[in-house]
Amino acid sequence: MAKKFVGERVPRVEDQRLITGRSQYVDDIVRPRMVYAAIVRSIYAHARLKEINVEAARRAPGVIAVFTGEDVREAIGPVPVASQLPDLKIPRHPVLAVEKVRYVGEPVAVVVAEDRYQARDAVDLIEVEYEPLEAVVDPERAIAEGAPILHEEFGTNVAFVWQLSGGDIERAFREAEVVVSQRMVNQRVIPVAMEPRGVVAEYHPGEGQLTVWTSTQIPHLLRTQLAAMLGLAENRVRVIAPEVGGGFGSKLNVYAEEALVGYLAMRLGRPVKWIETRRENFLSTIHGRGQIAEVEAAVKRDGTVLGLRYKIIQDVGAYHQLLTPAIPTLTGLMATGPYKIPNLHVQVIGAFTNKMATDAYRGAGRPEATYMLERMMDRIARELGLDPAEVRMRNFPQPDEFPFPTASGLAYDSGNYPQALRRALELVGYEQLRQEQQVLRQQGRYLGIGISTYVEICAIGPSPALPFGGWESATVRVEPTGKVTVLSGASPHGQGQETSFAQIVADELGVGLSDVRVIHGDTAIVQYGIGTFGSRATAVGGTAVYGAVQKVKEKATRLAAHLLGEENVANVAFEAGQFFVKDRPERRLTFQDVALAAYLAKSLPPGMEPGLEASYFFEPSNFTFPFGAHIAVVEVDPETGDVHFRRYVAVDDCGRVINPMLVDGQVHGGIVQALGQALLEEAVYDENGQLLTGELTDYAIPKATDVPWLETDRTETPSPVNPLGVKGVGEAGTIAATPAIVNAVVDALAPLGIRHLDMPLRPEKIWRAIRGA
């Protein structure tokens, strides 16, 4: 059937309400008799909790209740971690600290008052007596002898040791002609979603139901966890993710406050609202990255990479959040990137530190892998005197080698890596740029060209690979008027699936885009689902929608055949929203006619149920593996260290494209966040564990004026893993761009003998490197 919508630059149906300020975020929700919670947070990174005096706060105007960790420890279960690793140390993670605090910002007590001003005022009246302990902030130090121990019961700060091997790494290094090694730091960064977290909870004693509105990416998973934490039956908890103002992985979690506010609503019999301040968001919403790695490559003089060895220390933070330990395992899985590198060894040591937990942040482990590997490819090229593009070309698997097995045990679904790189080189005018670079160097100008070729792992993922199911669900419900309601178990929060899912459905059913409404994010309305993360919503959730719509079509066709008096369903065609018998096209039924007939149910084929709706749970057989090539061109001001972009070219292959505009948007956003990490961002804690970059005045995220013109292009290699052929693109930019930018800067500085600089590449750091060169 001709596609009217799929593949087109259809404007987002979400935009109208977002741009005109008519969408409803958590803080827009107001319930009758609602009260406000404010949280007292630890001011020490590591301390014993002595006395907490709440008397003055209890007596303060408007205050309804104050609770400490001791008050709720029996009533609320610990904050959960879903990931399993062998010998993983899982400390008890109470929603309010008990006995000890382990990071600045850890919740210590909660105040509930009639309004948010009174709640905030009362926070200052709570006297917490701490006995400060020595803090450990640096993960390397944390796992060294004699470091202060966060969780005494373990006697160590090593949270886990995880290893991954493929091939024969010892042999690779024995056979290596050259060994290139580099220590690299992937600094801790802060996700900074525009909307901070927030929770409203309301208990309905009549029904025994707790409703929780929260800014989350995973309403159903959260419901299951909240029910367990609060001792409620799962079908008595309703979680609603209203409009979510960005997540980037930081809301792919179960947070202490979500259970705490739910508990308060039940305990106090009044709806409770808690909205995170920006400072709280910096202190106590998960951070991303935080890896220190020693990387070694065994290579041949022609640039062939024989093997890679990674020794990674993952900064865990004080406790695990939902997926904390899983993130660096994604780094390991993707450690050979888009190359044919048969031998691999990865070791990851997780280190508890007196800081907020790290967890999934856009890319979640893959940006770290791509960064290290792409820096290594450039290091190798320089060491061997080869062109960095050439070194990459030499190590790519060829298109006929797919599905391509990796040393890390994955099977890449489909790809044409040389084509993507060639396209990017062509677009940027690589040969010419290299010549220009030579000329400029003669004039004392520092032009740098940075290449990054990447493959990432998306459509997460087959259920066996996930702690909580990796499928996704959809219901396609045709209403009696022929309007179509789609209930998706995915929980998009800015990615635009209300548009792309409608495109899929509208094309399949021959209806208009505005006839389709996509609903998600409410566990009382939508069947169980997994959520939106890991660039999965389209590849897994979209496929579920596609599967459900096929069932609907199939039923509608059977009904149409019946109504048209045709015995053989195969003789009935469905085109442009109309059913007809192939050799008698003059009599037609519209899709609406059939929908209505299904509900009026006056004449149905024998055995057919009335109504027209179907659900589909799609279990993918594999991940998908998008790939591409990004090239950054920068000029470094040698006098100040400033980095100026000249060009930025991105060629991404995310399989079939449902909406090019959405894909461009995702690529743009991803590149911008990568640029932030490459050049600006870093969560800086001092040695006492105080977060120095605790506000937007001190933590620099990119502004529009920091972003160059982004030249995006695509190749399209369909995925065989799902019938749509889609792969996912939500994180590609973040994964690809960081090394492209850093490679460009280091390339610019190459004549000075500079081989590596750790991010963020702030002007002063570059200036010092130049001076030291």
Residues in contact with other proteins by the rule CB under 8 A: 116-117, 120-121, 124, 277-279, 639-640, 680, 684, 692-693, 696-701, 703, 706, 762-764, 767-768
CA–CA separation, 7 vs 119, rounded Å? 51
Beta carbon nearer to other proteins, 428 or 683: 683
- Minimum CB separation of residue 641 from other proteins in Å reads 8
Partners of 575 in the β-ladder? 578
CA–CA separation, 370 vs 372, rounded Å? 6
CB 14 within 8 A of CB 496: yes
For 90, which DSSP code? Answer: -
Catalogue the long-range contacts made by 689-694 (C-beta closer than 8 Å, 24 or more residues apart): 689/44, 689/45, 689/46, 689/103, 689/104, 689/135, 689/137, 689/354, 689/355, 690/45, 690/104, 691/104, 691/105, 691/282, 691/283, 691/355, 691/356, 693/190, 693/282, 694/279, 694/282, 694/283
CB atoms within 10 A of CB 73: 17
Beta carbon nearer to other proteins, 113 or 169: 113
Cα-Cα-Cα-Cα torsion 240, 610, 504, 516, nearest 10 degrees, comes to: -60
Nearest to 382 by CA among 752, 5, 45: 752
- Minimum CB separation of residue 697 from other proteins in Å reads 4
- Minimum CB separation of residue 690 from other proteins in Å reads 12
CB 545 within 8 A of CB 485: no
Beta carbon nearer to other proteins, 60 or 360: 60
Beta carbon nearer to other proteins, 373 or 757: 757
- Minimum CB separation of residue 15 from other proteins in Å reads 22
Beta carbon nearer to other proteins, 279 or 445: 279
CA–CA separation, 192 vs 361, rounded Å? 10
- Minimum CB separation of residue 731 from other proteins in Å reads 24
Beta carbon nearer to other proteins, 42 or 503: 42
Beta carbon nearer to other proteins, 56 or 596: 56
- Minimum CB separation of residue 768 from other proteins in Å reads 8
CB 729 within 8 A of CB 659: no
Beta carbon nearer to other proteins, 280 or 566: 280
DSSP string of 169-212, one letter each residue? HHHHHHH-SEEEEEEEEE--B----SS--EEEEEEETTTTEEEE
CA–CA separation, 731 vs 748, rounded Å? 27
Beta carbon nearer to other proteins, 390 or 698: 698
Token pair for residue 736? 């690809």
CB atoms within 10 A of CB 6: 18
- Minimum CB separation of residue 695 from other proteins in Å reads 8
Tell me which amino acid residue 439 is. V
CA–CA separation, 441 vs 105, rounded Å? 49
- Minimum CB separation of residue 286 from other proteins in Å reads 20
- Minimum CB separation of residue 124 from other proteins in Å reads 8
Beta carbon nearer to other proteins, 268 or 684: 684
- Minimum CB separation of residue 81 from other proteins in Å reads 30
Beta carbon nearer to other proteins, 123 or 341: 123
- Minimum CB separation of residue 680 from other proteins in Å reads 5
